[in-house]
Amino acid sequence: MRRLTRTVAAAALATALALVSGCSSDSDKSGEPKAAGGAALEKVTYLTSFGNFGRDSYAWVAKEKGFFKEAGFDVDIKPGQGSGDVIKLVTGGQADFGPIDLTGGILEFGNGQAKDFVAVAAIQQRTMAAIVSVEGKNIATPKDLEGKKIADTPFSVVRKLFPTYARLAGIDASKVTWVNGEAAGLIGMLGTGAVDGIGQFVVGQPTVEAVAKKKPVVLPYSNVMTDLYGNALITSTRIAKEKPDMVKRFTAALLKGLEYALAHPEEAGQILKKNVAAANPQAAAAELQLMAAYVRSSNSGTALGTLDQGRVAKSIALLQGAGALKQNITPDQIIDFNLAPKA
């Protein structure tokens, strides 16, 4: 009789626990994640700029540390394949946000290759575009690229900006051979000797050395093209117009992740490794340490993410002077200064 009583009591307890569990906020009928106030999180698709390297780990940091959730978002992070790819997917509705090299965006817009996107924040205050080789390839100056084979994705800003860089650096661009590669495989192509150099950001040096097992040789575009911004966060003109508050909240959360990643590069590298199995956390941390100098403005006290209309105008003028733009454009055609962080 006692055994039966205990069995009935245990069953009653299990039923009660099940009912409590079924009524909890974490297991409601929808199964959707909730914001702190109980509202459903808004689903957002975010593209990285170029694969899943340390330079893009700040998005994973914003997700892991709860910054996106605090702002009301459930973010799906996917690897981008360069500026052109990110623009195409954002304007096509397959993604909501993503960083592109701002100069690449100016080139695409100014040459009629893309439209319907706007930049809403700067990620880097200076361009990080570069050609990266390794010792033993007889490349020490830009002129040495003539007769060499360079790999990059078709959509990369490094590749799209190369004719302008070549003209300003005194390179005969017709003597440089470009081959296609995927973002994740470029460094491997360089390491095996399949190519002499790759399109890359300057912060990629630690990853190149870790994979290729050789000392990198870097030719930064910023040596001949000053005033150019690096990556900038973009969204579609439709989202910017219809959901300005949503854009501001997302931007603030992403920049919070960027600030945290720069302050804690080792932790950011581990967060990237946790979410991307192939990532090298040490190389990722080293990339972030190098990137810090490009993210912070030279103007003391300037907030992260700011975009200066005068500097953008200078960038456009430089590209126009080099014959890289087919049509005249103005800064406010590609940047929504009402949504960008204020200086």
Kindly report the three-state secondary structure assignment for every residue of the chain: CHHHHHHHHHHHHHHHHHHHHHHCHHHCCCCCCECCCCCECEEEEEECCECCCHHHHHHHHHHHCCHHHHCCEEEEEECCECHHHHHHHHHCCCCCEEEEEHHHHHHHHHCCCCCCEEEEEECCCCCCEEEEEECCCCCCCHHHHCCCEEEECCCCHHHHHHHHHHHHHCCCHHHCEEEECCHHHHHHHHHHCCCCEEEEEHHHHHHHHHHHCCCEEEEEHHHCCCCCCCEEEEEEHHHHHHCHHHHHHHHHHHHHHHHHHHHCHHHHHHHHHHHCCCCCHHHHHHHHHHHHHHHCCCCCCCCCCCCCHHHHHHHHHHHHHCCCCCCCCCHHHCECCCCCCCC
For residue 212, report the phi and psi dihedrals to the nearest 5 degrees: -80, -15
Q: How far is Cα 132 from Cα 120, in angstroms, rounded to an integer?
A: 29
Structure tokens at 180: 């296609």
259 CB neighbour count, 10 Å cutoff: 18
330 CB neighbour count, 10 Å cutoff: 11
For residue 80, report the phi and psi dihedrals to the nearest 5 degrees: -85, 170
Confidence of residue 13 (pLDDT cuts 50, 70, 90): very low
pLDDT at 322: 84
Please write down the long-range contacts of 16-25, taking CB distance under 8 Å and 24 or more positions apart: none
Q: How far is Cα 32 from Cα 110, in angstroms, rounded to an integer?
A: 42
Confidence of residue 269 (pLDDT cuts 50, 70, 90): very high
In this prediction, residues 58-69 reach a mean pLDDT of 98
pLDDT at 29 over 60: no
Q: How far is Cα 281 from Cα 275, in angstroms, rounded to an integer?
A: 11
- Which segment of 19-28, 57-66, 145-154 scores lowest on mean pLDDT? 19-28
Please provide the CATH number assigned to the domain covering 42-126+228-333: 3.40.190.10
For 176-208, write each residue's pLDDT tens digit: 999 999 888 999 999 999 999 999 989 889 889
pLDDT at 278: 92
pLDDT at 34: 63
Confidence of residue 37 (pLDDT cuts 50, 70, 90): low
Mean of the per-residue pLDDT values for the chain?
Answer: 88
pLDDT at 157: 82
Locate CATH 3.40.190.10 in the chain: 42-126+228-333, 129-223
pLDDT at 117: 98
For residue 117, report the phi and psi dihedrals to the nearest 5 degrees: -135, 155
Amino acid at residue number 240: A
Query: Model-level pTM?
Result: 0.81
Asked if 267 contacts 306 with a C-beta cutoff of 8 angstroms, the reply is no
CATH fold group of domain 129-223: D-Maltodextrin-Binding Protein; domain 2 (3.40.190)
For 203-241, write each residue's pLDDT tens digit: 889 889 988 999 999 999 999 887 899 999 999 999 999
pLDDT at 23: 38
Confidence of residue 154 (pLDDT cuts 50, 70, 90): confident
